[in-house]
Amino acid sequence: MRQKADLPTKDCVTCGRPFAWRKKWARDWDNVRHCSDACRTGAYSRAVKNGAG
């Protein structure tokens, strides 16, 4: 089994936070750009813009 520290990481294009590889992204890791559905849909950006984040 791999250690979590050994997994590949990327930076989210919306919030800039690093996120690690997940098994559900195994087939599509090259195309994953966002750390969560909130970042993907823009909910995170709207919350930060409105002062909630």
pLDDT of residue 53: 59
pLDDT digits (tens, 9 = 90+) for 1-41: 668 788 999 999 989 999 999 999 999 999 999 999 989 99
pTM listed for this prediction: 0.72
Q: 12-30 as b/e, with b when 16 or more CB fall inside 10 Å?
A: bebbeeebebeeeeeeeee
Give 35-43's long-range contacts (Cβ < 8 A, gap of 24+). Answer: 36/12, 39/12, 39/13, 39/14, 39/15, 40/14, 42/14
d(Cα 8, Cα 30) in Å, to the nearest integer? 11
- Give the chain's domain count: 1
Residue range of the domain that includes 20: 4-49
